[in-house]
């Protein structure tokens, strides 16, 4: 079976040393703000947590619509934003798209926000 995997290079996400250590540059602040904006939405946070709690931290889009209680296009839009930000990797298998958590993307955010 051919799998097309769409995954963003997480090294470009949330770039920087912990923000409590040294003032962020404007460029790093813009990059981190963009990454946080992808997370700062209730539907996207719920989607991310549902995918993360699934076996192998992966879920078919077909299994995400009912628990979200949203239309398929809306769910797909939020999944696209999370994939573009690097938090999910998308693969196509047959008719369906599957989304897998990219833990390293969350790690880069938490490393930047860590307080100690």
Residues 39, 109 contacting (CB under 8 angstroms): yes
Single out the segment in contact with a copy of itself by CB under 8 A; choices: 1-9, 70-78, 88-96, 101-109.
101-109
Which of residues 48, 79, 81, 85 is near a copy of itself by CB under 8 A?
A: 48
CA of residue 51 relative to chain centroid, distance: 10
Could you tell me what percentage of the chain is helix, strand and coil, using 3-state DSSP and rounding each to the nearest 5?
A: 55, 15, 30
Select from 90, 85, 46, 42 the least CA-distant residue to 64. 46
From residue 55 to residue 74, the character string flagging contacts with a copy of itself as x (rule: CB under 8 A) and all else as - is --x---------x-------
Q: Enumerate binding residues for a copy of itself (CB under 8 A).
A: 19-24, 26, 29-30, 32-33, 36-37, 39-46, 48-50, 52-53, 57, 67, 101, 103-104, 106-107, 109-110, 113-116
């Amino acid at each position: 079976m051919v799998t097309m995997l769409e995954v963003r290079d997480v090294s470009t996400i949330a770039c920087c040393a912990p923000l409590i250590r040294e003032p962020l540059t404007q460029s790093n602040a813009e990059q981190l703000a963009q990454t946080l904006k992808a997370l700062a939405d209730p539907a996207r946070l719920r989607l991310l947590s549902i995918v993360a709690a699934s076996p192998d931290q992966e879920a078919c889009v077909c299994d995400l619509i009912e628990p979200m209680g949203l239309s398929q296009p809306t769910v797909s839009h939020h999944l696209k934003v999370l994939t573009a930000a690097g938090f999910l990797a998308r693969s196509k298998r047959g008719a369906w798209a599957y989304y897998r958590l990219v833990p390293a993307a969350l790690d880069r955010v938490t490393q930047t926000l860590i307080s100690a």
